[in-house]
Amino acid sequence: MKNNIRENSNDILKWWFLVRWFIIIILFSISIIRITEVKQITTIIFGAAFLSVVALNVIFYLQVKQKSYLFTSLQIIFDVIFATIVVHITGGLDSSFVWIYLVPVITASLTVEALGGMISALIGSLSLLFLIITYKIGWLQPLNNINFEEVIPSELSIFLISYTGLFVSVAVLTSYMKEILKDKNHIKTELNDEVHNLQEEIKSYQNKISEIEDIKAEKNKLLQASLPIAELDHDLNTPLTVISLNIRKIEKAASKFESEKLSDAANDITESINKIKSLLNKVDRLKQNDIIRQAQKSEE
């Protein structure tokens, strides 16, 4: 059952893996267009972050079968670095791709148990805060040439709080949906196991029924063989009666002619007739059996 649940979870991760590739390639393509407008050090960091994300994306696919929290943590960290550089290259705080931080948030929610998504959401928010601070102190210059000294602090606070709320909300929602899917897969697996067990029971009952049918067929064969035996008394009584009458004649002849041989022969025949009658009594008990009676009636 656990293997089935793990397979269903892996299917979700494989789909998310494909989505990750699509998002990363698209954003890389967009960033390449703007890369000439940034400093060389930023370009180097961007290239290193992209290659790291690509390498870890391959590892992410491989660890679907066997998870490694070390590679998962590195994956999320480089996702955040890549997202931060993409946001900077595509316009800073005016970028249309601030939502890219949702990639590590969703990845953490799907791969890390407990508060992984929440922690990733907070890291994304801190990365945005770091970007704002670097703009503020002049370490980085926004590509849209915004003067941060003229930006109202409340606007920056609203910006940061809004995206923090978005990241946290997506983390909570993804974790909740993951738990729902896990419960659903658990129930589905249990039902499949029950169906399998019922099928095994049905198969067992079918085998027993087949055995009963075989026994019934053997019983019918035995019954058919027993019917002629049960009717032997009727077939033998008449000849025995005739033999008994003739024995009396032999006994009279032996007495008349005083023949010892005839007398011995008559005694031997009488003894044999008595043995046959004893056997017929046993056959008569067989005839009294209810099954034999029913079979005889059905043949009539």
pLDDT in tens, 68-113: 677 778 778 888 888 888 888 777 788 888 888 998 898 888 888 7
Q: Are 120 and 76 in contact (CB under 8 A)?
A: yes
> Are residue 145 and residue 20 in the same domain, yes or no?
yes
- Round the average pLDDT of the chain to a whole number and report it: 76
* 16 lies in the same domain as 78: yes
Provide φ and ψ at 229, rounded to 5°. -65, -40
> Which of these three, 164, 182, 200, is where a domain ends?
182
Q: What pLDDT score does 164 carry?
A: 92
Mean pLDDT is highest, among 136-140, 152-156, 224-228, 282-286, for 136-140
User: What's the pLDDT tens digit per position in 8-48?
Assistant: 556 677 787 778 788 878 877 777 776 665 566 666 766 77
> pLDDT at residue 226 above 90?
no
- Chain centroid to Cα 256, Å, comes to 98
How many Å apart are CA 178 and CA 249, to the nearest integer? Answer: 106
The predicted pLDDT at position 121 comes to 92
171 in the same domain as 278 = no
Is residue 187 in a domain?
no
| 97 and 172 belong to one structural domain | yes
| CA–CA distance, 259 with 61 (Å, rounded to integer) | 114
Q: Which two tokens stand for residue 74?
A: 């590195």
pLDDT score, position 186: 79
**Does 69 share its domain with 7?**
yes
Domain count, the chain: 2
Residue at 93 is within a domain: yes
Instruction: Decide if 196 is inside a domain.
Output: no
Check whether residue 101 and residue 20 sit in a common domain: yes
Instruction: Round to whole Å and give the CA distance between 172 and 176.
Output: 6
Same domain? 215 vs 72: no
Does residue 67 sit in the same domain as residue 151? yes
**Residue of 125 and 262 predicted with greater confidence:** 125
What pLDDT, on a 0 to 100 scale, did the predictor assign at position 2?
42
Chain CA centroid to CA 136, Å: 56
Per-residue confidence (pLDDT) for residue 169, from 0 to 100: 93
Nearest CA to 23 out of 94, 92, 107 is that of 107
Residue 278 lies in a domain: yes
pTM to 2 decimal places: 0.60
CA 152 to chain centre: 58
Instruction: Please indicate, yes or no, if residue 169 is contained in any of the structural domains.
Output: yes
Local confidence band at 249 (pLDDT 50, 70, 90 cut-offs): confident
Range of the domain at 90: 2-182
Same domain, 61 and 144: yes
Contact assessment for residue 27 and residue 97, using Cβ atoms and an 8 Å cutoff: yes
Show which of 182, 201, 232 is a domain's final residue. Answer: 182
Residue whose token pair is 């998310």: 16
pLDDT range class, residue 122, cuts 50, 70, 90: very high
Last residue of a domain, one of 132, 166, 182: 182
Structural domain contains residue 178: yes
pLDDT of residue 58: 74
DSSP 8-state secondary structure symbol assigned to residue 264: H
**Residue 197 falls inside a structural domain:** no
Mean pLDDT of 56-60: 70
Q: Could you tell me if residue 193 is inside a domain?
A: no
In this structure, the answer to whether residues 133 and 231 fall within a common structural domain is: no
Any idea which of 135-144, 206-215, 223-232, 269-278 has the lowest mean pLDDT? Answer: 223-232
pLDDT over 90 (residue 126): yes
Query: Same domain, yes or no, for 177 and 267?
Result: no
| Residue 3 confidence class, pLDDT cut points 50, 70, 90 | very low
